[in-house]
């Protein structure tokens, strides 16, 4: 059998075999975690440094605009940043302008704030979901108490200790959004940065990141984190391994496999090019 024939057989392999290979490439590193050396890039470090220099007691507003399908991509970053903020003694106001966001806020509270002994209503508060997209963002920033009568658990916002000091956007020191779609960074730039000059950090999926570069270049977004890699880098910075770091091994192997598949496909293509020309 010639090399060209062999490569043609490789290219004609049943797609189920490819799917099994992909499955194994993801499963094995998840079951046997590999130590993946992480080099921290600028964006996570910028956000880390910004939070480090905020005085304890500063208010950080978080918009968890994650839907369930994007949990692996964005939740790790959200949890890591929340953990860092709790550790630094920041007061965190959790919101969401997506229906599924509050559930992830609650998961973060359970996994980060509760074990750390933080007090609900004093160290952090969960205001819940507010419908209306970018318009709702504008209303909340204009008047928190007007936009939210009660928090996620039904407590009156006016009675919550942390909210005594948080009435408008001017009481917020940092906004961090985790978004898988919709208005994302652009909307928050329009509603928070332009009118109020708030520092804004954005965590989005990898495909959304390029559309936010104009905002980072203009200085309107102080840090743009994208995808699970940024989450893994942030977990490395705060020395709290989480879901993002755990997934990097699988992501690495899957990427390598796809590169290999593309390579094999092209070797077969060029090996059989003469044959196609003859036909």
Partner 1 sequence: MIYPDKYLSLFTLLAFCAIIYYQIRSQQQGAPLPWMRPISGLSAIDEAVGRATEMGRPIHFSPGVGGIVDEEAGQVLAGLQYLGYLAEQAGKYDIPLIATMRNPIVYTMAEDIAKEGFARAGAPEKYTPETVRFLSDAQMAYAAGVLGIFKREKPAANVMIGAWYAETMMLAEAATNAGAISIGGTARLFQIPYLVVTCDYVLIGEEIFAGGAYLAKDRVQLGSLRGQDICKAICAVVLAAGIVLVTVGATGLRDFIAQYGR
Partner 2 sequence: MATKTMPSAILAIVATVMILDNFLNIPVLGSLSSEIRIWGVIIAAFALGLASINLARFHVVRVARQTTDWPYSVACLIAMAAFGLGGIAAGPGNDYYRFYFANFFSPMAVATMGMTIFFIATAAFRAVTIRSLEAGVLLAAALVVMLGNIPLGDAISPHIPDAAEWIRRIPNMAGQRGILITSAIGSIAFGLRVLIGLERTQFGAGAG
- Give me the residues that bind partner 2 (CB under 8 A), please: 11, 15, 18-19, 21-23, 26, 36-39, 41, 67-72, 100, 102-103, 106-107, 129, 131-133, 135-136, 139, 152-154, 206, 209-211, 213-214, 227, 229, 248, 251-252, 254-259, 261-262, 264-266, 269-270
Count of CB atoms situated within 10 Å of the CB of 200? 23
Nearest distance from residue 183's CB to partner 1, in Å?
7
Sheet containing strand 223-226, edge to edge, reads 124-129, 91-96, 59-65, 174-179, 200-204, 223-226
The first and second tokens of residue 174, run together, are 């940092």
Count of CB atoms situated within 10 Å of the CB of 110? 10
- Per partner kind, with CB cut-offs from 5 to 8 A, the member of partner 2, partner 1, none near residue 208 is partner 1
Closer residue to partner 2 in complex, CB, 9/19: 19
**241 binds partner 1, rule: CB under 8 A:** no
Question: Pairing state of beta strands 124-129 and 174-179?
Answer: unpaired
Rounded to a whole number of angstroms, the distance between the first and last alpha carbons of the chain is 20
> How would you classify residue 132: left for phi > 0, otherwise alpha for psi between -120 and 50, otherwise beta?
left
- The residue within the footprint of partner 1, chosen from 211, 266, 269, 275 (CB under 8 A), is 211
- The residue within the footprint of partner 1, chosen from 47, 51, 208, 246 (CB under 8 A), is 208
- Do residues 230 and 44 make contact, with C-beta atoms less than 8 angstroms apart? yes
- The residue within the footprint of partner 1, chosen from 33, 72, 121, 181 (CB under 8 A), is 181
**67 binds partner 1, rule: CB under 8 A:** yes
- Per partner kind, with CB cut-offs from 5 to 8 A, the member of partner 2, partner 1, none near residue 84 is none
**Binding-site residue total for partner 1 (CB under 8 A)?**
13
> How would DSSP label each residue in 249-268?
HHHHHHHHHHHHHHHHHHHH
Interface residues with partner 1 (CB under 8 A) are 67-70, 133, 181-183, 194, 205, 207-208, 211
């Amino acid at each position: 059998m010639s090399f060209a024939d062999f490569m043609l057989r490789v290219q004609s392999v049943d797609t189920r075999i490819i799917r099994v290979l992909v499955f194994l490439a993801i499963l094995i590193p998840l079951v046997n975690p590999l130590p993946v050396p992480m080099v921290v890039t600028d964006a996570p470090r910028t956000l880390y440094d910004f939070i480090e220099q905020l005085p304890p007691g500063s208010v950080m507003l978080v918009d968890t605009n994650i839907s369930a399908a994007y949990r692996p991509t964005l939740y790790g970053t959200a949890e890591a940043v929340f953990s860092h903020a709790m550790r630094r003694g920041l007061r965190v106001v959790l919101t969401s302008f997506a229906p599924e966001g509050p559930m992830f806020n609650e998961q973060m509270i359970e996994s980060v704030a509760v074990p750390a002994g933080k007090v609900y209503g004093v160290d952090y508060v969960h205001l819940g979901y507010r419908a209306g997209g970018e318009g709702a963002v504008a209303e909340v920033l204009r008047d928190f108490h007007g936009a939210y009568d009660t928090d996620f658990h039904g407590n009156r916002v006016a009675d919550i200790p942390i909210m005594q000091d948080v009435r408008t956007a001017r009481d917020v020191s940092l906004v961090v959004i985790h978004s898988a779609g919709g208005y994302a960074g652009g909307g928050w730039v329009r509603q928070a940065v332009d009118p109020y000059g708030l520092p804004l950090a954005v965590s989005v999926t990898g495909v959304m990141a390029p559309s936010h570069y104009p905002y980072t270049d203009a200085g309107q977004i102080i840090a743009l984190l994208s995808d699970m890699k940024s989450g893994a880098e942030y977990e490395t910075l705060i020395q709290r391994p989480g879901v993002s770091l755990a997934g990097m091994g699988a992501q690495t192997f899957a990427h390598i496999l796809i590169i290999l598949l593309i390579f094999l496909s092209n070797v077969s293509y060029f090996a059989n090019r003469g044959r196609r020309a003859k036909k």
